[in-house]
Amino acid sequence: MSADALSNFLKRNIVKIFENDLRDSLEGVTHRLTLNRAELSTLLRGKLSLTKDEADEAITEIEGSLLKHRFIENESSNEGGSVWVASSKKTKLNPRPVANPYKSFYNWKKNLYKNTLKDLSSGSKLKDFGENLHLGHGAAGGVAVVTHRSMKATKKLMSKGAKKAGVNAEAMITEMEAISLEVDRILGKIDLKLKADDAFTARSALKKTYTLNIELQWGKSNLSEGQKEKQIKNAIASFVQTVIDNPGAYLEVGGSPSMLNWVDKALDTAIIGKKKIKDQVKTTKASHSIKSKIKKGKKPLPTTLPRIRDTRGRFTSPAAIQNIIQSQITEKVKENMGEGGSLVNRTGRFAESVTITNVTQTRQGSLTAFYNYMKYPYQTFERGFKQGSTRRDPRLLIHKSIREIAQKLVHRKLNIKSRRV
């Protein structure tokens, strides 16, 4: 496990995902179009000035045109509408397969006015309907096209090859989710690992059974989603390149039970009261296959806390630092609450909800602590939310607490960052 191996893995496997367009592959999978009558009626009346009766007539004709266009009405939507399916696979439920499901829906939408709407009483109002209406991904619990790149990358990061290269997959996936959420609070609220398992095989190929959900979106709305997709793509691609250039923080520490792993166990024992740790297993250089446990009667490794930094000043284990911070974070947050206009400690619920999910380290020794807390009802005080405030922002309170714990631990100036996940 080396930094070079991690960087090479990312270059060969992850960078290409964000350089190439997945649309060609995605267009071939089964597509489900959700047609919500109430939303479409509101759109027709608001954007094109149709009356309610004219909107109802147009929607009825639109649904009829879907049936004529060889789409299969799959089910009724919960919101009061219909769901239409286009698939390239012939089955009993789908006796009319199409070569390219997405293009079939696109061609239907493109010719909707000419083939269906122009002869209606409101036809003159509907002339630009097809041009202003777009097919947007992400309907009915689905995800946008750019998110599929992140999902495919997630599947690669969860592979045996990534593990062999020493990739800290959990930290990288957490960062990709955080980036998506920073750009779009709705688009980013996904579990990448769960979505990746739904869509991709173990070899990161789209599953034959995978289905994409789409919906009709008005032009400006669709354009806005496209801009967000581009921002997320560029931000994650930039993040991956940063890891390639400086992979230390995302290099997983593992291997046989070494001194490093023993340090983790010793810290766990001292800090959070775990049971007695097992003796270290040593491996000789002469034969990697021979392992000898410490014999009975010989002096075991000391159970006092070992040094948390090596001779070069690097932490021996970010996991150990995570355990230390987690063991003290609740009391430290309570201690800092109320200072300088920050959140006031009333029930202790906020402080007790703070969880350190991961700690990573760069090659230069800088630390990043990833954390989470009870979003409801406290996230409203983050900047950008309804009651956002610089003084009451929970993130600033938690960051201050993390920094104070870490600095006390090393007794000197420390470069530590924190990020909410």
Q: What is the DSSP string of 388-413?
A: --TTT-HHHHHHHHHHHHHHHHHTS-
Torsion sign, CA atoms 19, 24, 25, 30: positive
- Note the pLDDT of residue 329: 92
Q: In what order do the strands lie in the sheet with 367-372?
A: 355-361, 367-372, 416-420
- Give me the residues paired with residue 283 across strands: 291
Give the whole-angstrom CA distance, residue 375 versus residue 335.
20
User: Is pLDDT above 70 for 355?
Assistant: yes
What integer pLDDT is reported at residue 387 of this predicted model? 81
* pLDDT on residue 293: 41
Q: For residue 261, is pLDDT > 50?
A: no
Task: Specify whether the CB–CB gap between 413 and 366 falls below 8 A.
Answer: no
Whether 264 has a pLDDT exceeding 80, the answer reads: no
| Residue % of the chain over a pLDDT of 70 | 72
Query: Which pLDDT band, with edges at 50, 70 and 90, does 354 fall under?
Result: very high
Question: What's the pLDDT score for residue 296?
Answer: 46
E strands along 37-176, which residues? 72-77, 81-86, 133-137
pLDDT band at 256 (very low <50, low <70, confident <90, very high): very low
Query: Mind listing the domains of the chain with CATH numbers?
Result: 3-249 (no CATH), 259-293 (no CATH), 318-420 (3.30.300)
Whether the pLDDT of residue 413 is over 60: the answer is no
Flag whether pLDDT at 302 surpasses 50.
no
Q: Report the pLDDT averaged over residues 292-299.
A: 42
The mean-pLDDT minimum among 41-55, 87-101, 193-207, 342-356 falls in 87-101
Q: Which amino acid is at 405?
A: I
Alpha carbon 289 to chain centroid, angstroms? 40
How confident is residue 184, by pLDDT bands cut at 50, 70 and 90?
low
